[in-house]
A and B are shown apart, each in its own frame.
Chain A
């Protein structure tokens, strides 16, 4: 427990020791609000809900979460500090989970700092705050999914830019796996079970149902398994590099 919290604290403080954290928070909040008001027509819709805010999260996360996760392992491998970290009495899963948690906590902070829009919508009308809460949870879990993918991919390279680009690509596929663009190469030859399975991996489908205020156990299990799978893969990759 001490080891895990030491790693989380170290990773979190490394976000804040450079301007990265502040630039990230500022641009993330500015972008999410700009999209809500100008593209989502928050005022013009005349409805007291935060759908125009949450609807852009998948697309914002597509670029913002890989930016948070890209350095987690790539930087350790580039600078050689991974050798130091893994020769301390640290289990690989502790390092993997610690780094992921730090990135997620940071993402949660960014998400929490969007509270003025919640205040605004409550000031302007009478929204269903239950739906908003579930939407925030959905957004947090989707962010965790993106970050788990990014952390794992970051462990495969020592170059942060490569980690970023590959993560964006993989996340894009996950985001749209319910969409015909991803499914069309499978149509015609793959069994329906496989097509359904791929389609059910979509971030969008699972997230959208949560923004409507529906808590479905399947959505929760989906995100938990997604995070679990990618973190486990992350552990295997780090161990594999060690064994080489």
Chain B
């Protein structure tokens, strides 16, 4: 549904986005990850046809976003960065305006507005002006506007920014539901847990380039903590000292606040059984032990730090 083909955007000599290519199929949720200023928003603006690419092209449902803008824009629901809106309009006026511009007929308009108002729990603020809303409500109004015409493609720039944990959870459930109804979705975020919770694929962008394109699981496997063993014990300090002797252990880290020890294995090595046997043998008491799947923030730092010049 979404195709980016060598998208580039240059500002003078600076390449804000450099040769970015990817595809998103129906039912897929693609996560854009990257440090601030990496080019996530610029890429999204080119996908939606707001910015003209310096090179390359973007297609939505087969329509070029610059050459056939009316057709591609009709397929897309877009939440721009910061969820802008018209401050002096009430939520209801705003959604009605979007519905009218989207070409929804009068009875469809009423139905669709009622539906998104329910989905994003906007009843309480329906007749308040946008400028009086909290950041969380404003973001939800932005999302409501994006999904109002039931688009096949959703492009959401930081959809959960500014929401409290409950609202974040609600919005994630909503995005998951939308993905199940066979939409192609692109979200940008710098919250890594969101990628794990939502995305079927993640692109890490740094300095305008794609530096990793993988599933969240695939990315986790790149972490040095993939298959690491974490245990919690009152004797964490002594364990950390002693366990270095085990074969295949590369490093041992201590997290004192949680009384936690993390044992980092050699790449590809599975050491849970060895560790458990060793603990029994030395009669250490532990309160919990588990195998880590890998830490995304670690992978993220590792990948994006290398690109910095």
Contacts and interface: CB of A to CB of B under 8 A. Distances in A.
A18 B89 CA distance: 10
A18 B88 CA distance: 7
Given A14-B88, A79-B84, A87 B50 contact: yes
A93 to B, nearest CB: 12
Contact of A83 (B45, B87, B145): B45
A7 interface: yes
Contacts of A84: 78, 80, 84-85, 145
Contacts of A14: 86, 88-89
B52 A2 contact: no
Contacts of B51: 242-244
B50 A80 contact: no
A10 B98 CA distance: 10
A197 interface: no
Contacts of A18: 88
Interface residues on B, range: 20 to 34
B100 A86 contact: no
A14 B50 CA distance: 24
Contacts of B84: 79-81, 83-84
A112 interface: no
A243 B52 contact: yes
Contacts of B85: 79, 81, 84
Given A242-B51, A242-B52, A88 B88 contact: no
Interface string B54-91: 00000000000000011001101010111011111100
B93 interface: yes
B49 A13 contact: no
Interface in A54-109: 79-81, 83-84, 86-91
Kindly name the residue among B11, B48, B78, B97 whose own CB sees the greatest number of chain A CB atoms within 10 A. B97
B169 interface: no
B234 to A, nearest CB: 53
B93 A13 contact: yes
B301 interface: no
B258 interface: no
A87 B78 contact: yes
Contact of B49 (A2, A6, A7, A87): A87
A129 B293 CA distance: 86
Contact of B73 (A2, A17, A89, A244): A89
Contact of A88 (B73, B81, B93, B129): B73
A9 to B, nearest CB: 8
B102 interface: yes
A81 B86 CA distance: 7
A91 to B, nearest CB: 7
A80 B101 contact: no
A74 to B, nearest CB: 14
B103 interface: yes
A118 B125 CA distance: 46
Interface in A16-31: 17-18
Interface string B138-163: 00000001000000000000000000
Kindly name the residue among A6, A14, A80, A88 whose own CB sees the greatest number of chain B CB atoms within 10 A. A88
A155 to B, nearest CB: 15
Ranked nearest first, the 8 interchain pairs of A and B with the lowest CB-CB distance are A80-B84, A6-B100, A243-B52, A89-B73, A81-B84, A83-B80, A87-B48, A17-B88
Interface of A: 2-3, 5-7, 9-10, 13-14, 17-18, 79-81, 83-84, 86-91, 242-244
Interface of B: 11, 45, 48-52, 69-70, 73-74, 76, 78, 80-82, 84-89, 93, 97-98, 100-103, 129, 145
Given A10-B86, A87-B50, 5 more contacts: A79-B84, A80-B82, A86-B49, A242-B52, A243-B51
27 contacts: A2-B103, A3-B100, A3-B101, A6-B97, A10-B89, A14-B86, A14-B89, A17-B88, A17-B89, A17-B129, A79-B85, A79-B86, A83-B80, A83-B81, A84-B78, A84-B145, A86-B49, A86-B50, A87-B49, A87-B50, A87-B73, A87-B78, A88-B102, A89-B70, A89-B101, A89-B103, A243-B52
